[in-house]
Structure 1
């Protein structure tokens, strides 16, 4: 077997097994920005099976851009406790705190995963499945399919 074939086979097999394990979950979160990652961490930490779908190929939402495209983010005091709890270093700046976006994104992500949340990137939620006036599922699709305007 060609090494490339073996590599592709491994990727597909592991992804499909992982995806199938997470088709039935307690909570689905749309988006792996700071709010989604924080919610995922809190829920998973309580033993609630939590899956996050992020449409981009990366996590962190708008944190990567920082402020004015400079690699620094400003955090209000109320949110600073969440970042301190996961070990993000913050510098006081009057009524705000300043943090490094790469550190904040990586620690928010790893703390959600370490708590037990599962994150799938490159997938987005297209619709909700509603039965008896309750949301009981979601319709997801590959982000690439939507960008290509493919109706699948």
Structure 2
């Protein structure tokens, strides 16, 4: 068979356009493609919710790719080991209660599971703003190509309607910071506090407490949850990220399915 470049081009543009249009109205839109949101996205899709994830970078996986200081290994504690099992991630016990996995392989498993569950992932798409209507509830996203942001081009964005939004943007807590900037007092006057210095044990414990609906229609998860609440960072131990994603999905499912 002789390949025709025109068909290749049409296939890519037509298929992408059709999928993008289909995902302009969804149940849950996730901002940030780190481990917490990948876990959440998979469970949301498995629950039958129309789920889309936007990642501003070319690669999905957040900070997990680099392991600890570019040593491609991560540590997961006992409490989160069942999630590694659920995603079929290979690991071994280093010491009692400490489990080590290949960071690159783990990211691959998380992405594969999310896509297989029906999650649609759009990379190279940046979050610009939220949509809020009369009920003072987040009801969608304003998005643009990351290249537009990098090039500082004056190009108007497009919108995604969503019943719920998950902020999984890591240390920057980008969505929550935007809501705080646009709606003073949105978080009860406390605002986005910013994360404290590293303390793995406390940070891992508090990320679960901090994973919650912080504003109507907006759930915060992963490191963004600790940044909003002013809790410590935790470094290359990722159990809290995985468990936070699971909790965020449970919160979203409970809210949308009730």
User: How far, CA to CA, are the matches of 2:130 and 2:24 in structure 1?
Assistant: 14
User: How far, CA to CA, are the matches of 1:118 and 1:128 in structure 2?
Assistant: 20
Summarize deviations over 1:74-122 as a string: whole Å, max 9, x none. 1222222211111101111223211011221111111111111111111
User: How far, CA to CA, are the matches of 1:54 and 1:111 in structure 2?
Assistant: 17
Which residue is 1:120 aligned to? 122
Which residue is 1:147 aligned to? 150
Number of residue-to-residue matches in the alignment: 151
Which residue is 1:135 aligned to? 138
Which residue is 1:110 aligned to? 112
User: How far, CA to CA, are the matches of 2:4 and 2:118 in structure 1?
Assistant: 32
Alignment pair present for 1:87 and 2:88: yes
User: How far, CA to CA, are the matches of 2:124 and 2:76 in structure 1?
Assistant: 27
Preserved CA contact (<8 Å) 1:84 1:90? no
Query: 1:69 offset after TM fit, Å?
Result: 0.7
Unaligned runs of 5+ in 2: 156-258
User: How far, CA to CA, are the matches of 1:121 and 1:35 in structure 2?
Assistant: 16
Summarize deviations over 1:63-82 as a string: whole Å, max 9, x none. 11011211211122222221
The alignment's TM-score, normalised by the length of structure 2, stands at 0.56
User: How far, CA to CA, are the matches of 1:13 and 1:110 in structure 2?
Assistant: 23
Name the Cα RMSD after superposition: 1.4
Which residue is 1:32 aligned to? 33
User: How far, CA to CA, are the matches of 2:58 and 2:34 in structure 1?
Assistant: 12
Which residue is 1:48 aligned to? 49
Which residue is 2:7 aligned to? 6
